[in-house]
Amino acid sequence: MEKNKKDYLSTTILYQFLVCAMLFGALFALNNLRPECLKSIKYDFFDNLNDNSVIENSEFVVDKKPESLNTSEFHMADEDTKNDSEDALIPEVGVGGNDVDISDKNVIPDNVSVNNYSLNQQMFTPVKGRITSEYGVRIHPIKENLSFHSGIDIAAQKGTPIKSAFNGVITESEYDEWNGYHIKIQHDNGVMTVYCHCDELLAEKGAKVGAGEVIATVGSTGSSTGPHLHFELRINDICYNPQIALDEAVDEV
């Protein structure tokens, strides 16, 4: 009887060892042959961890109008959202950016906010396309570490025109290794918008631009996996979720 128990225990341990070895072998092969699939698995894993992560927001109102949107939840990137027939030719892998590294998925960095807000001016859609990475916590697509994405990534074909979201003055029009060719525009009421990974910059620092005016074209420069626009909205130097304003944006001037 005792011998049977030992044989059963040995067989069980051996079986578990073989299953683990096969699993690690499959992951190793997947990482070498199809690394993008492994990254997708990582995204799904962290999405599941974050499904119930809800943060109660306080209001941030630029004007004195009542809050028209009440969004109290943020979540990680979901590459399957906002998918329609218009986006059939748009690359799904256009993501990237210089995120804020965090140690825990519940950490909110000092220079970002998950609070709600409203604006006293109409936003124009900077570029139409598939949202490939949303605002909030994600696994960085390049560095593969836990980070906070301070904007949203909108995939579009290379060369697609990028429009200014509001009237404003360009304060930066240059290149760096993370953001690639990028533009920052200062608007009224402490609002700033940022446009990164451009292929070509069509407006210089100091230029005044109108809402809906073309300022650059979509590219994949800097830290990027494919053609897309990384778009940020800042209020008094704090990043807010641009999707809240984009939900009410117009496409034509």
Q: Domain extents for the chain?
A: 58-246
Least Cα distance to 140 among 238, 55, 39 occurs for 39
Whole-prediction pTM: 0.65
Strands 228-235 and 191-201: antiparallel
Give yes or no for residue 128 having a pLDDT over 90.
yes
Domain 58-246 superfamily per CATH: Glucose Permease (Domain IIA) (2.70.70.10)
What confidence tier does 96 reach under pLDDT thresholds 50, 70, 90?
low
Percentage of the chain with pLDDT > 90? 46
Each residue's pLDDT tens digit, 157-210: 999 999 999 999 999 999 999 899 999 999 999 999 999 999 999 999 999 999
The pLDDT value recorded for residue 141 is 73
